[in-house]
Structure 1
Amino acid sequence: MRCFGLPPIINHESRVLVLGSMPGRESLERRQYYANPRNQFWAIVSEVIGEKIPLEYDGKIAFLLRHHIALWDVLSSCERTGSSDNSIRNAVANDFSKIFKANKSLRLVVFNGSRAESLWKKHVRLNPPPLGFIRLPSTSTALARPFEEKLSAWLVIREYL
């Protein structure tokens, strides 16, 4: 089944761009990033910032933007069975040249997991601006690492906010 991603969550003050691979089935159905309650993204960001994140999605997005964090995915579309990144086929990357041109305040691109980074390397064809690029542990619970270990790695983004 062909999946189509979500629009970017970004504004002119965003400093950190967090990139996933492609939203999971639940996120696509609800049209919300990290909608699967088992995904640890929102809990990790809450700890990184040191504030509680609102429960409703609009509040979560406002929280991210207020703290200069943007969200998007490497892929704009792909064929995939279920939510597993391992089943991604016929991938098409998002157009990052427009995002980088329009958002000069960006300082760091974070790959949420190794799959997002490998898809970037395989499908994104551009000379990116002089930004930091870093792969952090996936916030998916499919990555069997303790929460504290993931959080410890994600704390690095504080210096870019």
Structure 2
Amino acid sequence: MTHIQSFDYVAAPDARVLVLGSIPGLKSLQEVQYYAHPRNGFWPIMARLLDFDPALPYPQRLEALKGSGIALWDVVHRCHRPGSLDQNIAGDSVEANDFASFFRLHPGVRTIFFNGGTAETLFKRHVIRGGIALPAGLEMTRLPSTSPANAGIRLEQKLEQWRAVLDSLRP
């Protein structure tokens, strides 16, 4: 099996929302960019929500997220997975990212949005059950995966559900 490792988180110190994926797919790993697959809906959705051009260079898209109070990361730090599909992650190979340190450095994060069910399941299994102390009152919401593998839901339908991210940033 192929050993893969996620990227560092992207977050400003004052982040209020954390968007969590599972672990980058092959195209993202090749490009060293979150959500690099051209058919992934993440950047088009965030661009619509935050009013920026989805064709901006990657560093500028990251700055748009950070400037809006959104942090971006993955649940899994390292695992074995052939290909890009989450269903192929070898469960016994999963090492979670260091969420205790993340929350210590980003005390303003009050909401986690999971980019799909696998991210939520992995978080519950490897972080919550792993005994990591989470901030009091932390809200967690699963959103539909932006992955092109989640083709049963149109982008517009995903966008409507992802509006919850924008709603959570309002005072």
**Do both proteins adopt the same fold according to a TM-score greater than 0.5, normalized to the shorter chain?**
yes
CA contact (8 A) 2:52 2:64 kept: no
Instruction: String of CA shifts for 1:106-136, please: whole Å, max 9, x gaps.
Output: 1211100001001111111213112111000
SS at match of 1:127: coil
CA contact (8 A) 2:50 2:64 kept: no
SS at match of 1:153: helix
SS at match of 2:9: coil
Q: How does 1:97-116 map to 2 (within 5 A)?
A: 97-116=100-119
Partner in structure 1 of residue 155 of structure 2: 147
Residue 115 (structure 2) pairs with residue 118 (structure 1): no
Residue 81 (structure 2) pairs with residue 95 (structure 1): no
Picking from 127, 132, 136, the partner of 2:133 is 127
CA contact (8 A) 1:53 1:63 kept: no
Unaligned stretches of 5+ residues in structure 1:
none
Shift of 1:32: 0.6
SS at match of 1:134: strand
CA distance in 1, matches of 2:63, 2:54: 10
Partner in structure 1 of residue 68 of structure 2: 67
Number of equivalenced pairs: 161
RMSD after superposition:
1.1
Partner in structure 1 of residue 85 of structure 2: 84
CA distance in 2, matches of 1:67, 1:43: 16
CA contact (8 A) 1:3 1:78 kept: yes
Shift of 1:11: 1.4
SS at match of 2:94: strand
Structure 1 counterpart of 2:104, one-letter code: K
CA distance in 1, matches of 2:86, 2:73: 15
Structure 2 counterpart of 1:98, one-letter code: S
CA distance in 2, matches of 1:9, 1:33: 10
CA distance in 2, matches of 1:111, 1:99: 16
Picking from 114, 138, 143, the partner of 2:145 is 138
SS at match of 2:24: coil
